[in-house]
Amino acid sequence: MARAERFVEADNAEAIITRIEHKSRKIESLLKQYKPVEALKTALEGTYAMTGDERCKSAHWIAVHRALMAIKDVDGMLSSLDPEYYDILMKYLYRGLATGDRPTCDQCLRIHEKLTEKAGLGCILRFLTDTVNTV
């Protein structure tokens, strides 16, 4: 029984990784057209259809990271982003801050300040308490 479940998990993971690769290509093309905000929106969509698989999470993180680093105008990006994406964005920001890589941390710190002003402390608290949907 458990073996069957694990097969289903593996298939699911493969399907998800293909979907993420699809999304990465779409993100690359959007970035080439100088549309970083749309790229970020595409990257953040559908994150919760995820399994707990580490590979899916890393693949997703790579796509979001690519879109995040291309953002230059933080205020504009936040004003055009739907509020439902604030929580997911906050989770990815904290993942970026944990990497320790200087340019990533610079960018994440900049966005974090503005996002907290916009979304409030509740956003941070939802990230702290959500142990189920980690990113």
Partner 1 sequence: MASTLRPYLTCIRNTLDAAMCLQNFPCQEVERHNKPEVELKSSPELLLNPVLICRNESEKCLIETSINSLRISLKVKQADELENILTKKFLRFLSMRAEAFQVLRRKPVQGYDISFLITNYHCEEMQKHKLIDFIVQFMEDIDKEISELKMSVNTRGRLVATEFLKQFI
* Of residues 30 and 88, the one with the C-beta less far from partner 1: 88
Q: Which long-range contacts (CB under 8 A, 24 or more apart) does 28-35 make?
A: 28/66, 31/66, 31/67, 31/70
Nearer to partner 1, 15 or 125 (CB): 125
Which residues in the 104-133 window bind partner 1 by CB under 8 A?
A: 105-106, 109-110, 112-113, 116, 121-122, 124-125, 127-131
Rounded to an integer, what distance in angstroms lies between the CA atom of residue 48 and that of residue 72? 27
Report if residue 62 touches partner 1, rule: CB under 8 A: no
- Residue list 70-89, contact with partner 1 (CB under 8 A): none
Q: Which amino acid belongs to residue 66?
A: R
Cα–Cα distance, 40 to 81 (Å, whole number): 9
Give the footprint of partner 1 on this chain (CB under 8 A). Answer: 94, 97-102, 105-106, 109-110, 112-113, 116, 121-122, 124-125, 127-131, 134
